[in-house]
Structure 1
Amino acid sequence: MAINTVAHLNFQGQARAALEFYHSVFGGQLTVTTYGDFGMPAELPGATNVVFGQVVADNGFRIMAYDVPGPDAPVAQGTPTTHRENGVTITKEPFFLSVRGETVDEVGALWEGLAEDATVIEPYAPAQWAPAFGMLTDRFGITWILDVAAEYTPA
């Protein structure tokens, strides 16, 4: 049996924009289905919101997202809570998304895409544990860690 773990992001009316943005950064196939596509009358609020969306790329990247229905949906977005202090990462976020690649250039291109209108927590640069590492919170309030896999040498 094979399984996959895929991040599923919850938004309040921003799922389409977020998925389109991630598609522009990572490539692949974009799928967006709205509540209206599933039969919600077009005149109702939220009919154009995303009930199912995903980006699936050949390089292994995959993410899902939807718009939580209702105006009072408990989805925290906006001001990032993660920052660096005295050499450590301080956060109240329950998770980060991590993207790891094989080369500094390949991951650097993804960094440049995600960094557009983002809050940079730790600039993309060489780190003690990796050829390159960076952390940012994107324009949709999602915090990403990007790094380059270090070459493993057994002891």
Structure 2
Amino acid sequence: MTFTPYLSFQGECAEAFNTYARLFGGEAQLSRFDELPEATGMPPLEPDQAGWVMHAQLTLPDGSRLLGCDNPPQFGGERMAGSSIAVTLSSEDEIQRIFDGLAEDGHVKMEPGPTFFAKFFAMLTDRFGASWMLVVESEGTGEET
């Protein structure tokens, strides 16, 4: 079984996924609403939403995936809330590099640093509204986050 995070945006999906590709590796694949055939049965879009992303996929170097879309308000969509993406990283340098990229114009909840439960840990919400928990595990925990 595989769990795959699916992030919901309102007009920022392409920029977010291109940012995540730059920070985590891989290439963002984007399908936009204006590429759909006309007879899809979807509610009409506002003119400024035509280029919004219907589906985004980022396949990471380890094979895991991150998915997402722009969710127009008329589809009942809202920006994401109430969840976090936990990422286990291999080093303090890696966590700091990714943290710095995600924190740009975002909201830092906890700066990277050692904790009682992890060698290094950080929490933040990026400028697109996605909440992140970044961790370098302590030696011998053997737990995957």
- The bucket for the TM-score relative to the shorter chain is 0.7 to 0.9
Instruction: Show the counterpart of 2:26.
Output: 28
Q: What is the TM-score with the length of structure 1 in the denominator? A: 0.77
Asked whether 1:128 is paired with 2:131, we answer no
RMSD: 2.5
Output one character per residue of 1:64-118: Cα deviation in whole Å (capped at 9) or x when no partner.
11111344734146xxxxxxxxxxxxxxx52111011122122222112211111
Q: What is the TM-score with the length of structure 2 in the denominator? A: 0.81
Instruction: Show the counterpart of 2:98.
Output: 110
Aligned mates of 2:47, 2:101 — CA distance in 1:
34
Q: Is the 8 A contact 1:26 1:61 kept in 2?
A: no
More divergent stretch after superposition (35-44 vs 67-76): 35-44
Instruction: Show the counterpart of 1:19.
Output: 17
Q: Sequence identity, in percent?
A: 31
Residues 71 and 127 of structure 1: CA distance in aligned 2, closer, same or farther (over 3 Å): same
Aligned mates of 1:19, 1:146 — CA distance in 2:
18
Gaps of 5+ in 1: 78-92
Gaps of 5+ in 2: 39-43
Letter of the 2:28 partner, please give it: L
Asked whether 1:139 is paired with 2:137, we answer no
Which secondary structure does the structure 2 equivalent of 1:22 belong to? helix
Shift of 1:19: 0.9
1:1-155 aligned within 5 A: 3-40=1-38, 44-71=47-74, 73-76=76-79, 93-152=81-140
Size of the aligned set, in residue pairs, is: 137
Name the structure where helix makes up a greater proportion of residues: 2
Output one character per residue of 1:103-149: Cα deviation in whole Å (capped at 9) or x when no partner.
21222221122111111101101111111101011001111100102
Which secondary structure does the structure 2 equivalent of 1:127 belong to? coil
